[in-house]
Structure 1
Amino acid sequence: MHGPSRFFLATAVASSLVFAGCTTTRPAGTASGTSTFSSPRSSSIEAQVDASLSRLYDTVAGSRALVAGAQGVLVFPSVVGGSLGVGAEYGRGALRVKERTQAYYSTTAGSIGFQAGAQSKAVFYVFTSQEALDKFRQSQGWTVGADATVALARYGANGGIDTNTFRQPVVGFVLTNVGLEAGASLQGAKITEIRS
């Protein structure tokens, strides 16, 4: 690992520690409202995934049907980041197939430029096709935009998910503390399985 990669990794890890208190869901069973993620297979991350999915269903009309009909859904309950000139984001999540957790993943992303303050969001990747899910699971590191195109969900006049969204192989949602983030970009996010 050389200069820029090492710097980015250090920035991502530092950001995850500094901003760990900024979550979009309140983890169960923790007095301080934060999770240490000491083990990716902890009940805490499972509770956060459940809470994030419930919030998605309550916030976005049609999302429950989309997830129910999908081949799998990858949920990152709390992707946190901030910047000091170079932005970095980090989070951990779980892949669920037929409502059962199959594996745990980490996500990292970076950006150049000033971003004021800490940011926290829940990120969802819904795999509507088996081919897209298989390609994701067989990868040794999956990057949005390079390995697959993720279509952000679009909405119709009735406020529900547009029918064209259901036809995309991978659909993304981004939720912040104030609701669904319109115009969010997931481009460049790198997702890697956490192996014990």
Structure 2
Amino acid sequence: MKNLNSILVIIMVCVLNTAPIFGQTTAKKNKIIADSETAKSEFIKSDPLMKALFDKAYGYAIFPNVGKGGLGIGGAAGNGVVYEQNKRIGMAKLSQVSIGFQAGGQAYREVIFFESKNEMDRFKESRFEFSAQASAVAVTEGASANVKYTNGVMVFTMQKGGLMYEESIGGQQFKFNKL
């Protein structure tokens, strides 16, 4: 059983890293961009106060379709669009492998706000990763009212479907590709 779990982890890591955003077709990129605009609208619709976050953040990355699943060993993956000073500058890939108490599957949206150029640059250099203890705020009306940046970053998620017992974003890694 232990060998099977090890093999599953290796397979998940390979799968999450073999479909990098760098080889995406124009049609796929355009779909991700359109989905990101829809996701931004949905975030603001769910919590109108988020409009100010989008307007004032130095930059942000929107992942409109993140799929996550696991049973003891889990993983997540998604593609998104990166904005700096409200201008689209690139695409990004999110990947995550986790081990621990978790069961189920879900689809969600994620937006990461960057408070300053320093955090944005770390993300663009693909040196950005969430620690194991990182967590996100689930978007509901008014959820953004009292949220503050932590280490220059603020993260929100919005459930799209599915059910999963686990709410951490720890271990997420990102790869950036300039447009």
> TM-score, normalised on structure 2?
0.73
Distance in 1 (alpha carbons) for counterparts of 2:150 and 2:173: 24
Per-residue CA distance 1:29-82 (angstroms, 9 max, x = gap) = xxxxxxxx9427621111000000000001123111011001111011111122
Kindly indicate whether residue 127 of structure 2 is the aligned counterpart of residue 144 of structure 1.
Answer: no
Once the two structures are TM-superposed, the CA of residue 193 in structure 1 deviates from its matched residue by 1.8
Kindly indicate whether residue 1 of structure 2 is the aligned counterpart of residue 39 of structure 1.
Answer: no
Identity of aligned residues (%): 21
> TM-score, normalised on structure 1?
0.68
**Which residue in the other structure is 2:158 paired with?**
175
Q: Residue type of the partner of 1:70?
A: A
Matched residue SS, 1:177: strand
**Which residue in the other structure is 2:142 paired with?**
159
Q: Residue type of the partner of 2:63?
A: F
Once the two structures are TM-superposed, the CA of residue 107 in structure 1 deviates from its matched residue by 0.7
The RMSD of aligned alpha carbons is 3.6
Which of 45, 65, 69 aligns to 1:82? It is: 69
Gaps of 5+ in 1: 17-36
- Residues 164 and 107 of structure 1: is their aligned pair in 2 closer, same or farther, counting only changes over 3 Å? closer
Once the two structures are TM-superposed, the CA of residue 121 in structure 1 deviates from its matched residue by 0.7
Distance in 2 (alpha carbons) for counterparts of 1:150 and 1:170: 11
- Residues 117 and 154 of structure 1: is their aligned pair in 2 closer, same or farther, counting only changes over 3 Å? closer
Q: Residue type of the partner of 2:131?
A: G
Q: Work out which structure has the larger RCO, using CA pairs closer than 8 Å and 6 or more positions apart in sequence.
A: 2
Gaps of 5+ in 2: 1-6
**Which residue in the other structure is 1:28 paired with?**
none
Per-residue CA distance 1:133-183 (angstroms, 9 max, x = gap) = 12222x33421128xx9674599xx935234516861100010126xxxx9
- Residues 68 and 166 of structure 1: is their aligned pair in 2 closer, same or farther, counting only changes over 3 Å? farther
**Which residue in the other structure is 1:72 paired with?**
59
In the TM superposition, 1:1-196 aligns within 5 A as: 6-10=10-14, 12=16, 38-39=24-25, 42-113=29-100, 115-137=102-124, 139-145=125-131, 152-153=136-137, 159-163=142-146, 165=148, 169-177=152-160, 184-194=167-177
Number of residue pairs matched by the alignment: 165
Per-residue CA distance 1:75-117 (angstroms, 9 max, x = gap) = 1111112225421111111101233221111111122246444
> Is the strand fraction higher in 1 or 2?
2
Q: Residue type of the partner of 2:56?
A: G
Distance in 1 (alpha carbons) for counterparts of 2:74 and 2:135: 23
